[in-house]
């Protein structure tokens, strides 16, 4: 992967500082702009859900730069060797998997579920952002529930309003035409088509 330009790295640093101070950012992912915050900050997550107008019981997706950032949230001991192979050979990449939660996974992340949707992203900006913050981040599309997802920074402003989020990390979304597929690793069921 080629290095990101210094201007992009500067913006990533700005975004990470906003996250570390409990703020909400919008940032590019594989197909759309996502809304991100520190998943272990319940006030930040509640603010994000209020912006989205999304019920808390639905749960959220987490993205990471590597599996170690997801380990505190998921219980891979419940996966078969074949399921683990499927998981790890699909990452990094545009594959979101529903994995069993650890008992300690906060309810504001998993909602009413015993599983959580997670992805090790290959998008260079999103990946660098997770590396800079040293943690997984929430990743839900930057739009109000029921609206079309934003694919540009300008669309984020139009969909959410000029001051809904604390920072917009400019950059291109990836080449995916639709948000990533979500599949249950245990059952193989497709939860959301990509």
pLDDT at 184 over 70: yes
CATH (domain of 126): 3.90.870.10
**Statement: residue 1 has pLDDT above 70:** no
pLDDT of residue 54: 93
Contact 185, 91 (CB under 8 A): no
pLDDT digits (tens, 9 = 90+) for 8-67: 999 999 999 999 999 999 999 999 999 999 999 999 999 999 999 999 999 999 999 999
Across the chain, what does the average pLDDT equal? 95
Is residue 96 assigned to a domain?
A: yes
> What confidence category does residue 162 fall into, taking pLDDT thresholds of 50, 70 and 90?
confident
Q: Domain limits at 47? A: 6-192
Question: For 167-184, what is the mean pLDDT?
Answer: 93
d(CA 70, CA 109): 12
Q: What are the φ/ψ torsions at residue 101 (nearest 5 degrees)?
A: -80, 155
Q: Is the pLDDT of residue 130 over 80?
A: yes
- pTM across the whole model: 0.94
The number of distinct structural domains making up the chain is 1
In a domain, 15, yes or no: yes
* 1 within a domain of the structure (yes/no): no
Residue 144 φ/ψ, nearest 5 degrees: -75, 150
d(CA 155, CA 106): 31
């Amino acid at each position: 992967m080629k290095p990101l330009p210094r201007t992009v790295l500067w913006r990533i640093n700005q975004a990470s500082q906003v996250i570390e101070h409990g703020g909400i950012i919008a940032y590019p992912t594989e197909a759309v702009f996502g809304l991100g915050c520190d998943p272990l900050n319940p006030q930040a997550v509640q603010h994000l859900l209020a912006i989205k107008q999304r019920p808390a019981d639905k749960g959220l997706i987490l993205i990471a730069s590597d599996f170690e950032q997801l380990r505190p949230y998921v219980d891979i001991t419940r996966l078969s060797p074949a399921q683990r192979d499927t998981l790890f050979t699909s990452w990094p990449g545009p594959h979101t998997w529903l994995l069993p939660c650890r008992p300690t996974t906060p309810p504001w992340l998993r909602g009413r579920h015993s599983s959580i949707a997670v992805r090790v992203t290959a998008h260079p900006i999103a990946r660098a952002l997770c590396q800079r913050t040293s943690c997984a981040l929430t990743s839900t599309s930057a739009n109000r529930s029921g609206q079309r997802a934003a694919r540009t920074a300008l669309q984020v402003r139009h969909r959410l309003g000029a001051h809904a989020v604390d920072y917009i990390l400019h950059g291109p979304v990836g080449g995916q035409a639709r948000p990533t597929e979500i599949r249950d690793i245990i059952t193989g069921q497709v939860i959301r088509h990509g």
